[in-house]
């Protein structure tokens, strides 16, 4: 199996204020995993710069103009209390968009079986006309809609296992019957959306979890809600909003997933992609704010994409002290 990993140095240049959870160290941790000997066989490419035309597949022109207009030449510019831009943030966000569209190109042209976009900032909170929750542009939604626009994919799907509900993807897909959104997430939690009653035009499938839920509840939600609906939808492309902040170590949520749960979910989504989408999977990094939990989860996720099997991992150890950034 051929896996493409897209990344770019701009992810290391998108600065946030001291103490902000969406920090440069996240990508340093991810890059350390990507550079491990176990992943020498992956294809590696620098992410191209996304274009306004790509962004406009999912966002309004007003939104694009607003983000460009507030991008600072020095210091920080706060879009809201959580979402902040610095000098290189706009490029980082556009590289994340470019990675998503390049990943779609690769899987539809047969250059790779699947792809992982290892960039920041995340995107799944960005709505059609609003940036929020650390997110400027919604690269998962853009990837799905780009596949429809460029490759005439009839049905496209985004599945999201971030601890936070992807309100932005839901907003963008809400009235689009040919776009599927499925999400497991903690509720109640930021951003306050994601109830089972939020169904769009029958294309939105939310499976909220409660604080303290672990792998058993997560897998039951996937097996009982997300996977049957996704299989019935029959996607031509599966996009994963791969947020790893549902990990038991993560400071921004209270779910208790482990690396094995993320590997299991990845393989389940790959199975459906094999049945309906010629194996085409594009994974986009979203959350994950404990560095050890993030690194371990990315490792098993990438191993699953590359080998189609799980990677045995030891249990998470909450007593490890090698990540004090979130204390």
How many alpha carbons fall within 13 Å on the CB side of residue 176? 22
Rounded-to-integer distance, Cα 179 and Cα 162, Å: 19
Rounded-to-integer distance, Cα 179 and Cα 173, Å: 6
Copy the structure tokens of residue 273: 């992609």
Q: Is 62 exposed, middle or buried (0-12, 13-18, 19+ CB in 10 A)?
A: exposed
The conformational region for residue 50 under phi > 0 = left, psi -120 to 50 = alpha, else beta, is: beta
Q: Give the list of residues 6+ apart from residue 319 with CB closer than 8 angstroms, or none.
A: none
Copy the structure tokens of residue 209: 């979890």
Catalytic residue among 63, 125, 164, 165: 125
Q: Measured at the alpha carbon of residue 124, what is the angle toward residues 123 and 127, in degrees to the nearest 5?
A: 95
Residue 164 known to be catalytic:
no
Helices 139-151 and 89-108 cross at an angle (nearest 10°) of 40
Start-to-end C-alpha separation, the chain: 39
**Residues carrying an active site annotation:** 125
């Amino acid at each position: 199996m051929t896996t493409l990993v897209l990344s770019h140095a701009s992810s290391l240049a998108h600065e946030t204020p001291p103490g902000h959870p969406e920090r440069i160290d996240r990508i340093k941790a991810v890059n350390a995993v990507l550079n491990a000997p176990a992943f020498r066989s992956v294809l590696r490419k620098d992410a191209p710069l996304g274009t306004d035309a790509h962004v406009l597949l999912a966002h309004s022109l007003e939104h694009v103009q607003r983000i460009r207009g507030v991008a600072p030449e020095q210091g920080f510019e706060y879009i809201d209390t959580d979402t902040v831009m610095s000098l290189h943030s706009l490029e980082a966000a556009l590289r994340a968009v470019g990675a998503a569209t390049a990943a779609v190109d690769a899987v539809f042209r047969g250059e790779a079986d699947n792809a992982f976009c290892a960039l920041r900032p995340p995107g799944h909170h960005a709505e059609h006309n609003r940036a929020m929750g650390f997110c400027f542009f919604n690269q998962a939604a853009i990837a799905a809609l780009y596949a429809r626009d460029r490759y005439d994919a009839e049905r496209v799907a985004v599945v999201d296992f971030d601890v936070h509900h992807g309100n932005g993807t839901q907003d963008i897909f809400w009235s689009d019957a040919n776009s599927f959104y499925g999400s497991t997430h903690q509720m109640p939690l930021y951003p306050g959306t994601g109830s089972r009653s939020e169904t769009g035009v029958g294309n939105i499938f939310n499976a909220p979890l409660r604080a303290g839920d672990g792998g058993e509840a997560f897998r039951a939600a996937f097996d009982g809600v997300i996977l049957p609906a996704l299989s019935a939808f029959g996607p031509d492309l599966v996009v994963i909003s791969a947020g790893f902040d549902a990990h038991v170590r993560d400071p921004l949520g209270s779910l208790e997933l482990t690396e094995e749960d993320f590997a299991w979910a990845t393989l389940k989504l790959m199975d459906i992609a094999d049945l309906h989408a010629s194996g085409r999977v594009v994974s986009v990094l979203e959350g994950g704010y404990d560095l050890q939990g993030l690194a371990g989860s990315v490792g098993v996720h990438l191993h699953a994409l590359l080998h189609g099997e799980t990677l045995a991992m030891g249990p998470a150890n909450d007593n490890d002290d090698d990540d004090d950034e979130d204390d």
